[in-house]
Amino acid sequence: MKSLQDKVAIITGASRGIGAEIAKTTAQAGASVVINYTNNRSAADLVVSEIKSLGGNAIPVRANVSNSIEVKALFDAAITHFGKIDILINNAGTAIFKAIQDTSDEELDRIFAINVKGTFYCLRESATLLSNGGRIINISSSVTRLILPAYGAYAATKGAVEQLTRVFAKEMGSRGITVNSISPGPTNTELFLEGKSEETIQRLAAMSALGRIGETEDIAKVVLFLASEGAAWVTGQNIGVNGGIA
């Protein structure tokens, strides 16, 4: 039997990049998957199509995670279609790369709304709607360890995600629900590569103990483990999935 057979997973921000890879990996492991997206319906439809072509089950659901009403509708849609929710993967996020002194109020509000409030709203819904024995995986970032200039606002949001993970693990433990976060390092996605020179990419790769940047499959495999029964005794943890970069 596949490790996630008969499970239902919501994956936020799943229309591309790491989220799309996680969606395909969990579907291949037997889960029915809710592909959350905000604007790019065609990309979400493509992920759904790829999953179905391999015999999996998935639906696209639009929701802006920074809006609590839309998050509630996302969870309601999952239950209406699949009857339950077993796994929540909080992947949706955005980034800005500016010195703190150059970051505007509007930019700060937007990144906190998506990265922190979005995670918080999804956790709040899952508190009552996730099945007993469920799994929650939040996506943080290795920038909380690397302490890089121009990452102040982004690192602040991901630090908040890690603290929410630890607190929520204590709150949900009585129901057998595990809550963990992972911290990817530089990963080969369209978003990460945008605006970076080959020299910059190679410099980041050299910082890894394994001498390369990550692939989306590297991240998805760890998420799959945390979502499985094999990780039932792992909760409240943040795991670096970064090739030893930090």
d(CA 31, CA 19): 15
d(CA 184, CA 244): 10
d(CA 102, CA 98): 6
154 is catalytic: yes
Backbone phi, psi, residue 57, to 5°: -130, 125
Residue 98 half-sphere exposure, CB side, CA atoms within 13 Å? 12
DSSP 32-69: EEEEEESS-HHHHHHHHHHHHHTT-EEEEEE--TTSHH
Catalytic residue among 37, 121, 151, 154: 154
Structure-token pair, residue 191: 């978003």
Active site residues: 154
